[in-house]
Chains A and B, each alone.
Chain A
Amino acid sequence: MDVALYIHVPFCLRRCTYCDFNTYAGLLDLRLAYIAALERELSLLAARHGRLRITTVYCGGGTPSLLGEAVADVLRTVQAQFTLADAAEITLEANPGTVDATLLGAWRAAGVNRLSLGVQSACANELALLGRIHTWKEVVEAVTLARRAGFDNLSLDLMFGLPGQTLAHWEHTLAQVLALAPEHLSLYALTLEEGTTLAAQVAAGVAPLPDPDLAADMYEAASDILCAAGFWQYEISNWARGLSMPLTIWSLPPGGQTESIGPWASRHNLAYWRNQSWLGVGAGAHSSWGGRRWHNLLHPDAYIHLLERGEWPVAEEEHIPPALVQGETMMLGLRLAEGVTAADFRERFGAELAEVYAPIIARLMEAGLLEWDGGRARLSVRGRLLGNQVFATFLPE
């Protein structure tokens, strides 16, 4: 059985102003105990599921780079408990403010073959507003060092729709980032999450409220610029450099499947969007396996504590009934440029996509949000920006 493995690292040096992820500042002292707990959880999983074949590993956070060279220990445990596929994609998220040549070399040597750097912006004022701990200069250095260490699959995260951000700022950031020649880009529109510092600043009027129409303009500008630079948009927020040039924005991958673009689309994340099984370890990590989805206790203390006693650190488990699995498959699959094919749907559910969703498809096509050619459903160019309106309709009542 092939499976994607996610490893969560819930530590950051400081919380960014927009961040509501399961991460904690000031808990780095727990690092060693946490790594031990991760290793225990991995062996519990192996004991339960047998020797699974791991096709992708994604070490995310938080700031996984804060584990330092211990990343290698964790990967060794994975290898010891499971079978790591030969060409496994092994991604590590890193904060540009936390890397140096030695570490990068160690990670590469330990098998990490994809590095995802949280860049967010090339503008100093925006980095400050977001509370990032690094400068643009450090981003450039991190990329240079990563290349030197042998990373040939580099992904950079960017954010747009920020308070006070102009279209010109955004285009500047894009140009700067393209000059670094990454293989992959993730572009996220800011959402002001409740309880974050940034949301409070906006509510208090200290930071201006972002204009959603301007964010839409930024998204469209990015689509054009990245398309011209040879990037294929294969998911709502993700672009990968292609082996060939895309003809237009949001082109269907040449062979109908994301993989046909080239080797740089995130294979790990594709597993999520294709609603395949994955296992997650670490505090708050989610897993999806055989019609169930569960997640671990959020706080690293609690997580460590349970594993020290040899118990499962699960906080909540959910059974996903078949109709919901179908709906979620649409909700996730339609995020991809490849969309959802009738053939895959039939193979997985033994049902006809066109029949199950006939009225919905008709309605969404009429609204210009969905393309359907009889064999494949995918978002239209406009639909990319209105995904929620589409996804919600596929969820059961």
Chain B
Amino acid sequence: MDSRYIRNFSIIAHIDHGKSTLADRLLEVTGTVESRKFSSQSQLLDSMALEQEKGVTIKASAVQMHWKAADGMTYELNLIDTPGHVDFAYEVSRALAACEGAVLVVDATQGVEAQTLANLYLALENDLEIVPVINKIDLATADVPRVTHEVAELLGMPQEDVIAVSAKEGTNVEAILQAVVDHVPPPSGADEAAPLRALIFDSHYDSYKGVIAYVRLQEGRVTRDTPLLMMATDAKTEPVEVGVFTPDMQPVEQLCAGEVGYIATGLKTVREAHVGDTVTEARRPASEPLPGYRAVKPMVFASLYPSEADDYANLRDALEKLQLNDASLTYIPETSQALQFGFRCGFLGLFHMDIVQERLEREYNQDLVVTAPSVAYQVVLTNGEEIEIHRPADLPDPSTIQEVREPWMKVQVITPTEYLGAVMEIFRRKRANLLMTETLDNLRVLLTFETPLAEMVIDLHDRLKSATRGYASMDYAFDSYRPDDLVKVDVLVNKDSVDALAIIVHRDMAYDKGSLLIRKMKEAIPRQLFEVPIQAVVGGKVIARVNVQALRKDVLAKCYGGDITRKRKLLEKQKAGKKRMKQLGNVIIPQEAFLAMLRLDED
């Protein structure tokens, strides 16, 4: 394909503004997918069951379309639909790196929102050409003139350039394709003769074809018969297949410079081909790999354990495969006295954590125990050494600590003015500082806060949504690590500390949180043969204590000849139940109760 007739673009927007629905229409008008397919399913590119169920895009997905433009030429349009949720910004940034243009969608009933701005800035950083679109103009609540004005203002473009569409009804969507052809540049430097350089922007594992690498070719060509080399890992392979997404995987003869498609690498170990690596030819390797992606730093950490200790190896396999399809997931093995063997995982946010958990459960059949989320702390020791800890239990003895720093985030909230007070109150309780208030129009304000991430991971998003009836939107990014008076609250059950329950909090909140924790724990622990003290401890000092009274009576009343088998079975059941319990020192508690503890929330 002559690269002059190729256009690579992403669709970006705030969550729910209609990216995936718009992608549906583009697939339809280009004839890539037959119309009748859309009657049974919408948001076709949200192919994961989880995406369909939640109505949210989690993964960016690529698809190739062909369309005859006004100049009479047929263009190859490679579209990448992206997720809108802030936790998946990494997906967006990798998609953008494979494109020359971005269609920025804004919901005409909502206007510009927090991720509209965030994703727009990402696109501009990548020097992409922006095609502005306002969507949902079919809705009665759409304010087309206001939002058109807002978008034009934001981009410094004439209002006429903003394309007003209804993705749902298909109104005016061809105008978008024409604008892409006209304004988005073709891939530059697409030298087909040069040695192959293809950037892996995503991947998944197929048990027959091995690792499937989703690639954008910068230079060169690739066919089934091109022996390949992964530049970072040095792995060599003969590809099983090359192809494009339509959106199903469709084999093609070759992929050329400038194009987007996939290479079924045949590599069986997932470590050998990872996102960000450059694929080149084994016989004629390129001298330099492509820049790749900056590694993402996980913000939220939690531990995943198999419910049954025997399933540890399965969980490890599942994580390895999932990571291939979710480059932002990190994990390292860890052990816990109550939970035995598992993994400490890093996530980009709470939603990401939920999604990973759900995918492991559904796509990989894992039965998981997940601990409460926490953040990474930087600890400066009295000997000058600096360490980073990813779980509260690892915070060293206070006497060896000079300083503890926690991550602070910069948070931008766009809210209708009527909820301003409610928003400010929520952030006040989160130790936040208000940095700036900007009026967007006479209806909405943009607030910029800074707040500790640890406060955000609890329930900030839910609170914000409910306090503003869903009208506020939020975006956030890491700002800096800052020291504060942070202490670890240990929970001691019968004098033994339970690592999975330790938390790090501001000293002022230690008592409240500690009391809450042990009260919940008391509810969770069934009475044992002995009295069980539960204590909250800070730096070796007990700050709160409750007792679980000893069990006094557990005996089957009548036991005569008639029911010996039945009584024995009752005892056997009781005994079997105990095996599924978690052992904390010599205290045993039911798994369910332990899970409830780990999901401790505020109220």
Contacts and interface: CB of A to CB of B under 8 A. Distances in A.
Nearest to B574: A392
A335 B555 CA distance: 10
Contact of A389 (B529, B563, B572): B529
B564 A385 contact: no
A212 B549 CA distance: 12
A285 interface: yes
A189 B557 contact: yes
B575 A395 contact: yes
Given A367-B529, A388-B574, A392-B572, A286 B553 contact: no
B296 to A, nearest CB: 48
B553 A386 contact: yes
Interface stretch (A213-221, A337-345, A346-354): A213-221
A284 interface: yes
Contact of A385 (B553, B571, B572): B553
Contacts of B575: 392-393, 395
A237 B560 CA distance: 11
Interface string B557-586: 111111111011001101100000000000
A385 B558 CA distance: 13
A228 B565 CA distance: 35
Nearest to B530: A367
Given A392-B575, A395-B571, A385 B560 contact: no
Interface string B53-69: 00000000000000000
A384 interface: yes
B73 interface: no
A385 B529 contact: no
Given A369-B529, A392-B575, A272 B561 contact: yes
B557 A388 contact: no
Contact of A392 (B549, B557, B563, B571): B571
Nearest to A220: B552
B564 A395 contact: no
Contacts of A190: 557
A201 interface: no
Interface string B426-461: 000000000000000000000000000000000000
A52 interface: no
A91 B572 CA distance: 32
Interface residues of A, number: 47
A269 interface: yes
A6 interface: yes
Say which size band chain B's interface belongs to. 20 to 34
B556 interface: yes
Interface centre among A4, A295, A369 (most CB of B within 10 A): A295
Q: Which label, helix, strand, loop or mixed, suits the secondary structure of the A interface?
A: mixed
Contacts of B124: none
Contacts of A278: 561
A369 B552 CA distance: 11
A21 B555 CA distance: 18
Nearest to B579: A397
Contacts, number: 99
Nearest to A279: B561
Contact of B561 (A6, A215, A369): A6
Contacts of A237: 557-559
A328 interface: yes
B551 interface: yes
Interface in A281-306: 284-286, 288, 293, 295
B558 to A, nearest CB: 6
Interface centre among A215, A219, A385, A389 (most CB of B within 10 A): A389
Contact of A388 (B552, B561, B565, B571): B571
B310 interface: no
A88 B459 CA distance: 74
A391 B552 CA distance: 16
Contact of A215 (B529, B553, B556): B553
A386 B564 contact: no
Contact of A188 (B549, B557, B564, B572): B557
Contacts of B564: 272, 286, 288, 293, 328, 332
B34 interface: no
A318 interface: yes
A387 interface: yes
B581 to A, nearest CB: 13
Interface string A1-30: 000101010000000000000100000000
B462 interface: no
Given A331-B568, A369-B529, A392-B571, A213 B557 contact: no
A387 B560 contact: no
Nearest to A186: B558
A191 interface: yes
B554 interface: yes
B571 A189 contact: no
A381 interface: no
A332 B559 contact: yes
- Across the A-B interface, give the 5 residue pairs with the lowest CB-CB distance, nearest first: A387-B555, A216-B552, A216-B553, A188-B557, A392-B571
Interface of A: 4, 6, 8, 22, 60, 186, 188-191, 212-213, 215-216, 219, 236-237, 269, 271-273, 278, 280, 284-286, 288, 293, 295, 318, 328, 331-332, 335, 367-369, 384-389, 391-393, 395
Given A191-B556, A213-B552, A295-B562, 8 more contacts: A188-B558, A237-B558, A278-B561, A335-B559, A385-B554, A392-B575, A395-B571, A395-B575
7 contacts: A190-B557, A191-B556, A216-B553, A293-B564, A386-B554, A392-B574, A395-B572
